[in-house]
Amino acid sequence: MMIQLQAKGIVFGYNSSPILKDVSFEIGPSRLVTIVGPNGSGKSTLIKCIDRILAPEKGSVLIDRKEVTKMDRMEIAKNLSYVPQSSARTFSSNVFDTVLMGRRPHIGWLSSSDDEERVWEVLRLLGIEELAMSGFAELSGGQQQKVLIARALVQETKVMLLDEPTSNLDIWHQLDVMNIVSDLVKKRRMTVLMALHDLNLASKYSDGIIMMKRGRIMAAGDPASVLTPENIEAIYNVEVAVRSQSEEPFIVPIRQIKPNGSGPKSGGGRFFTSGKRRSRLPRSIAEMKEIRLS
Amino acid sequence: MAKTVRRSSTRSGRRSKMQEAHDSFVFARYFFMVAIVALIVLLTGFIITLGPLDISVADAYRALLSRAYPSSFQVDPLTERVVWNIRFPRIVGGILAGFGLGVCGCVMQAVLKNPLASPFTLGISSGAQFGIAVAAVLGISVFGGPYLLIGNAFLFALLCSAFIIGLASVKGATSETLILAGIAVNYFFSSMSQLFRYFADDEQLRLMTSWGMGDLAAFSWSKISILFGVFAVCIPLLMLKAWDLNIMTSGDETAKSIGVNAEGVRVYILLISSLVVATVVCFTGTIAFIGLVAPHMARMILGGDHRFLIPASGILGASVLIAADGIAMNLIAPTVIPTGIMTSVIGVPFFMYLMLKGRRKEFWT
């Protein structure tokens, strides 16, 4: 089985408070995998550690079996592209110049007409060519998101990481962005790993889902096996009904469940040892060590 | 659904409408820079004519060209001496100083991610001012003779920014750390200068005050050659990082993901631009506003690509500075108003106008 992206035992923390605790997984080529989990569960941190925007304390990331830690920043940028959650800019520039930035790992001081042609091609692919000369700051949230995806696309990497790309968008644009990403996986055979809040979007588009809580992977697999009422209740403290919508699970939230004594502050490790909790979490997931999404 | 790929129109040899718009924008960028350079040449000829000795514009250019082509261009010796020894060095010094301040303001705003950053954000001018105070009041200086004040200003300006950059390298070179450290150091050296001022006698006070206002009077060809030497090395080193600066305006995380070591580039840029600014400041004193306003003017007109922005900020800085200096020298002649005061007096209203009327508001958010 080919593995495109592999994380092995990633540990990360800010000032000795751990955020990621021994996170490992494998993703095969041409797969769309989403990371879901409550706020603060370490989704974004994991994505940043994979791209080495943050340097993990332990663990390694491999792309095509090549160790990312041994690459310099330019080399990483040729293999991994990243679409940030925030599009805040100090000084804006027009859309064309913004997207052209993504060619940086491949070019010297001068951009060739070939580089510029690649930018035009990607702008056309995402249907935003007519915005090329508009200022980035003038665009709507959905348009900005597409520009950021375009910038990552011109990096021409095999793996793309996205940090909650739909979080500020209306439902039309959420689907628009997800369709674009899903097309990249199918047509360009890219591997995509994205953090996502919306469980139904994750269910609709993902080949695999990684469910995280407090810096650990709690469940992983195809949408139907991960997005079960038991898992969601254990991870989010929310009671849900899961229906089947064209073969994908569709989640309807019902009510919050008050976390009892050993609530969120009790630390990640104890989540499994607390007897009451353990009964809620299926054994197979609690004991999951090797996670393959290939 | 994702849009289907329309094959590039260039493959059939035709450019799309947007591509044509982009082409003409790129052309406009070059055209604008050439136009400003032409403006500087015209301004130079005009400013040379201003002063107690009447010189016509034609004579001004003739005098300038007479050194290069003595057989083709001739002027009377007095005009030539006035042009080459008095008026032209001041203009060339002004062009270099304005260029350096504009360039450094541009790169500092980019790496500090702050539109209010200027070449003096890292406390360089207050450091230099303190150096002057030490030389004026205590008579302690690294050099003697004509470089008594200049040597000290240069040294303390560099010490100041070296301290901040050193601090930031230890603590993590984020823009916030650098700006806060800059403000703190600024206050410290300003208070120290005030302390010296408190104990200074009249002559020492005059020396400190006149330096603080910023003036182009001190330029001689030997000083210009020092400035030119520093620029010849440092400006290309800054230009080299134009791409990285473009990317860093999107934030450090994005920069890293596109292959730019943001903190390393920040320290590199600050080290080199500090050297440039310290060299300018020690000859001219604090000429405020050029380094703040020139990059914004360039950004509003040319957009955010630093490959164009860096030189354009420099050229705009140079033209604004010599224009301001021309006015400062002749507004209430024979009294010469210090250049630093005039740059603010004419720069502020112009900047306000651009802020309110600027078409490309999106480039300055």
Name every residue whose Cβ is closer than 8 Å to that of residue A212 and which is 6 or more positions away in sequence. A23, A35, A36, A37, A41, A42, A43, A46, A218, A235
Name every residue whose Cβ is closer than 8 Å to that of residue A8 and which is 6 or more positions away in sequence. A24, A59, A60, A61, A62
Q: Do B8 and A121 touch (CB under 8 A)?
A: yes
Q: Contact at 8 Å (CB) between B95 and B40?
A: yes
Q: Which two tokens stand for residue A49?
A: 């550690």
Cα–Cα distance list, B90 to B252, B290, B322, B336 (Å)? 41, 17, 9, 13
CA torsion angle B69 B71 B75 B79 (round to 10):
40
Q: Calculate ∠ Cα B262-A79-B264, nearest 5°.
A: 15
pLDDT in tens, A147-197: 999 999 999 999 999 999 998 889 999 999 999 999 999 998 999 999 999
Count of A-B CB contacts under 8 Å? 139
Q: Is the pLDDT of residue A290 over 80?
A: no
The residue among A71, A87, A91 with the most chain B CBs within 10 A of its CB, best to mutate, is A91
Of residues B255 and B174, the one with the higher pLDDT is: B255
**Number of neighbours of residue A168 by Cβ within 10 angstroms:** 16
Q: Do A109 and B261 touch (CB under 8 A)?
A: no
pLDDT in tens, A48-60: 999 999 989 999 9
Q: Do A93 and B251 touch (CB under 8 A)?
A: no
The answer to whether B251 contacts chain A (CB < 8 Å) is yes
**How far apart are alpha carbons A117 and B114 in whole angstroms?**
32
Q: Considering only the beta carbons, identify the residue of B16, B19, B257 that sits closest to A53.
A: B257
Q: What residue of A is the nearest CA neighbor of B6? A: A124
The answer to whether B261 contacts chain A (CB < 8 Å) is yes
- Contacts B303 to A, Cβ<8 Å: 93-94, 97
The answer to whether B74 contacts chain A (CB < 8 Å) is no
- Contacts A127 to B, Cβ<8 Å: 2-3
- Contacts B5 to A, Cβ<8 Å: 121, 124-125
Does pTM surpass 0.90? no
pLDDT in tens, A107-141: 888 878 888 999 999 999 998 999 999 988 888 88
The answer to whether B176 contacts chain A (CB < 8 Å) is no
pLDDT band at residue B329 under the 50/70/90 scheme: confident
Alpha helices for chain B (secondary structure H): 17-49, 57-66, 77-81, 88-112, 124-133, 148-171, 175-199, 202-213, 221-239, 242-248, 252-257, 262-284, 290-302, 306-330, 339-357
Q: Is the pLDDT of residue B1 over 70?
A: no
**How far apart are alpha carbons B287 and A34 in whole angstroms?**
54
pLDDT in tens, A202-238: 999 999 999 999 899 999 988 988 999 999 999 999 9
